[in-house]
Chain A
């Protein structure tokens, strides 16, 4: 069904949001682990790749340019908090858009009282 293509778009975006939230949680959880390197995914590229091939897992990359501590850990708590907040906002926005755009569809599918 080509007209419900947007459902897949929102679905893939939500899957990526969840994966990013997990990675940020992992970064914050490991902020004191020696040798741990903060990681994330490039949302735009990952979304394009997933829309073409949903079976492929998103490519995880290491954060670049952050100061590395003496124990080899480069997690920055303020940076990760901002990333988490931004990701949460985006997830909420995607959910809102998805809800709004499906409401019309559901309305159209619902049988009308006048027999239409």
Chain B
């Protein structure tokens, strides 16, 4: 059968989860970013996953994962009162990003768990393939 195998399916998931990890890294790195008054502060990003049938002829069969885009969080920005800062606005507040560290950390744990599950699946597929080959 010339269908895309486990390697393509789990491989697509590894790529997608890696992109998710990169987004989380970007969010955590910018959690403390601030902007000058009137500037656009950093918004937390999140990737969007979508299932794509592995073979076009079989829409009910196995599906690969694809990242279809990123969405930006609409949460309110963090404001801290610091009138001495050169970045403070007229009311004395410094506007920072809207990244929630707790949310990013739970997301990070979930992403690495999914990544590990896909790696385990790949290892198992490899073991089975080796058994098939050594049977001859």
Chain A interfacial positions (CB closer than 8 Å to B): 15, 18-19, 21-26, 28-36, 39, 57, 60, 77, 80-81, 84-85, 88, 91-92, 95, 98-99
B58 touches A22 (CB 8 A): no
Whether B97 is near chain A, meaning CB under 8 Å from some CB there, is no
Whether B79 is near chain A, meaning CB under 8 Å from some CB there, is no
Residues of A within 8 A of B118 (CB): 28-29
B9 touches A31 (CB 8 A): no
Residues of B within 8 A of A36 (CB): 51, 63
A28 vs B124: C-alpha distance in the bound complex, in angstroms? Answer: 13
A88 touches B117 (CB 8 A): no
Q: Whose C-beta in chain B lies nearest to the C-beta of A24?
A: B121
Per DSSP, chain A at the interface is helix
How many residues on the B side are at the interface (Cβ–Cβ under 8 A)? 38
B61 touches A22 (CB 8 A): yes
B60 touches A28 (CB 8 A): no
Q: Could you give, for residues 89-108 of chain B, a 1 whenever the CB lies within 8 Å of some chain A CB and a 0 otherwise?
A: 00000000000000000000
B132 touches A95 (CB 8 A): yes
The smallest C-beta distance from A71 to any residue of chain B, in angstroms, reads 10
Residues of A within 8 A of B3 (CB): 22
Residues of B within 8 A of A31 (CB): 114, 117
A24 vs B121: C-alpha distance in the bound complex, in angstroms? Answer: 9
**Given A60-B61, A95-B132, do A25 and B49 touch, yes or no (CB 8 Å)?**
no
Of the residues B9, B110, B131, contact of A25 by C-beta under 8 Å: B9
A23 touches B135 (CB 8 A): no
Residues of B within 8 A of A77 (CB): 113-114, 117
B62 touches A26 (CB 8 A): yes
Instruction: List 9 tightest A-B contacts by C-beta distance, closest first.
Output: A29-B13, A26-B62, A25-B6, A33-B49, A22-B62, A25-B9, A60-B60, A33-B51, A36-B51
